């Protein structure tokens, strides 16, 4: 069956791209033909108000390394214009229809072969993160006979950032879905209260497939000299506090901190290389949801630093379900000792159970087409 997928724009985001690739892989293994409908982020006007420039300048001086450019428009456009490595990965590994703007009502007429649409995963139902939220509720499929499924959608917060009128609007769109699933416990409550919909709980698409699929990607990574003993550090929101804590931990344990996936004016490392750096590390330190997931996929000892601004509930739901909630700390707390290993036999069994349930959700949702 031809399936259209809507997710966050395929820009410079390792987790965002890999979750989409994994969902396509899972659907292909079920015998389907998935295609991602890629909606681009709008570029921001280069003009910027002086107070915001000053605020960002002060944050950068204080060591906030997430501030790449002082002008937020330049940073936004830099982060959301795919670099060569990202474009090549998407081109070579993901079936995509690239759009120049939002999806309009003529799309279904142009693509009658698509019989089902899946929205997800990632924070696709978070208004501030999605370039045109109604599209992610499949507004363009009105009066079209297709399946509508939400897989592992996320809000990234405890409530949806919409008002009452918008709640009624999106509740109407949500009522047209054949099946809705979320990837965090808070999402079930949000769907019930703000969208008048029931939702199932599923795992992130990156966990739907076998780890061997990722090792196949790593095999394609360019040859590189690896540190003999290093901690892979994938921190989205860097600051002096985190950097100092990481250095102290690594010095104490005889590890070299290897910062991965962090953007610079030269761009980003490849997805294959990013995966390789996690897979070959002795330890992982991350404040990223997908950084946490790939630590688990590659069976690494890790510390996950809670990142409330990007959505804490998804960390808590994931790690609690796998019996790994002790690996989650708040910023400033002590990292989990290197000697405290993870029982990955037990974790693997839990993932297998959740994978079976999640694949069953997809199969059942698509079965009537």
Residue 141 counted as domain residue = yes
Digit-coded pLDDT (tens) for 309-324: 777 888 999 999 999 9
Both 320 and 271 in one domain: the answer is yes
The whole-model pTM stands at 0.90
Digit-coded pLDDT (tens) for 205-260: 999 999 999 999 998 775 555 667 999 999 999 888 899 999 999 999 999 999 99
Q: Indicate which CATH number applies to the domain containing 156.
A: 3.40.50.2000
- Name 365's Cβ contacts closer than 8 Å, sequence gap at least 6: 147, 149, 178, 179
Both 275 and 308 in one domain: the answer is yes
Both 125 and 13 in one domain: the answer is yes
Residue 324 counted as domain residue = yes
Looking at residue 222, what is its pLDDT? 56
Both 287 and 334 in one domain: the answer is yes
Digit-coded pLDDT (tens) for 161-196: 889 999 999 999 999 999 999 999 999 999 999 999
Both 200 and 276 in one domain: the answer is no
Nearest Cα residue to 286 out of 319, 322, 251: 319
Residue 52 counted as domain residue = no
Looking at residue 131, what is its pLDDT? 80
For 235-266, the DSSP string reads -SS--HHHHHHHHHHHHHHT-EEEE-S--BTT
Looking at residue 47, what is its pLDDT? 62
Both 234 and 264 in one domain: the answer is yes
Both 201 and 232 in one domain: the answer is no
Looking at residue 309, what is its pLDDT? 77
Both 104 and 194 in one domain: the answer is yes
Both 123 and 31 in one domain: the answer is yes
Q: Which domain holds residue 269?
A: 211-338
Both 266 and 323 in one domain: the answer is yes
Question: Per the structure, how many domains does the chain have?
Answer: 2
Residue 61 counted as domain residue = no
More confident residue, 62 or 103: 103
Looking at residue 310, what is its pLDDT? 79
Both 154 and 292 in one domain: the answer is no
For 304-368, the DSSP string reads EE--GGG-SHHHHHHHHHTT-GGGEE-TTSPPPPTT----HHHHHHHHHHHHHHHHHHHHHHHTT
What is the pLDDT averaged over residues 348-360? 97
Indicate whether 328 pLDDT > 90: yes
- pLDDT confidence bin for 85, thresholds 50/70/90: confident
Residue 361 counted as domain residue = yes
Looking at residue 308, what is its pLDDT? 83
Residue 218 counted as domain residue = yes
Looking at residue 63, what is its pLDDT? 66
How many other CB atoms are found less than 10 A from the CB of residue 163?
9
How many other CB atoms are found less than 10 A from the CB of residue 253?
15
Maximum distance among all alpha carbons in the chain? 62
Looking at residue 119, what is its pLDDT? 98
Q: Indicate which CATH number applies to the domain containing 300.
A: 3.40.50
Looking at residue 307, what is its pLDDT? 81
Looking at residue 266, what is its pLDDT? 65
At CA 55, angle to CA 156 and CA 311, rounded to 5?
Answer: 10
Residue 247 counted as domain residue = yes
Indicate whether 45 pLDDT > 80: no
Q: What are phi and psi of 36, to 5 degrees?
A: -90, 130
Indicate whether 81 pLDDT > 80: no
């Amino acid at each position: 069956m031809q399936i259209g997928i809507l997710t966050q724009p395929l820009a410079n985001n390792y987790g965002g791209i890999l979750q989409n690739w994994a969902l396509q892989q899972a659907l292909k293994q079920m015998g389907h033909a998935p295609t991602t409908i890629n909606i681009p982020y709008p570029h921001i006007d280069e003009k910027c108000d002086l107070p915001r420039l000053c605020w960002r300048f002060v944050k950068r001086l204080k060591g906030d390394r997430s501030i790449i450019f002082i002008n937020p428009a330049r940073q936004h456009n830099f982060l959301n214009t795919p670099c060569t490595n990202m474009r090549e990965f998407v081109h070579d590994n993901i079936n995509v229809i690239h759009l120049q703007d939002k999806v309009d009502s003529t799309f279904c007429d142009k693509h009658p072969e698509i019989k089902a649409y899946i929205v997800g995963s990632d924070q696709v139902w978070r208004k501030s993160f999605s370039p045109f939220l109604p599209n992610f509720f499949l507004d363009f499929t009105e009066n079209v006979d297709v399946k509508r499924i939400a897989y592992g959608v996320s809000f990234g917060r405890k409530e949806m950032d919409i008002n009452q009128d918008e709640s009624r609007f999106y509740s109407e769109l949500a009522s047209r879905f054949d099946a809705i699933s979320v990837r965090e416990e808070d999402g079930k409550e949000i769907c019930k209260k703000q969208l008048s919909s029931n939702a199932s709980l599923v795992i992130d698409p990156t966990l739907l497939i076998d780890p061997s699929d990722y090792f196949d990607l790593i095999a394609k990574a360019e040859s590189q000299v690896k540190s003999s003993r290093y901690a892979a550090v994938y921190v989205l929101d860097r600051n002096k506090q985190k950097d100092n804590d990481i250095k102290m931990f690594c010095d104490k344990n005889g590890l070299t901190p290897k910062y991965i996936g962090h953007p610079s004016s030269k761009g980003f490392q490849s997805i294959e290389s990013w995966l390789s750096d996690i897979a070959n590390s002795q330890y992982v330190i991350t404040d990223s949801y997908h950084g946490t997931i790939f630590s688990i996929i590659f069976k690494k000892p890790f510390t996950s630093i809670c990142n409330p601004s990007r959505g804490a509930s998804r960390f808590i739901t994931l790690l609690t379900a796998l019996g790994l909630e002790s690996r989650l700390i708040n910023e400033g707390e002590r990292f989990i000792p290197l000697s405290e290993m993870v029982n990955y036999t037990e974790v693997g069994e839990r993932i297998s159970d959740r994978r079976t349930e999640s694949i069953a959700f997809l199969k059942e949702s698509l079965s009537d087409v």
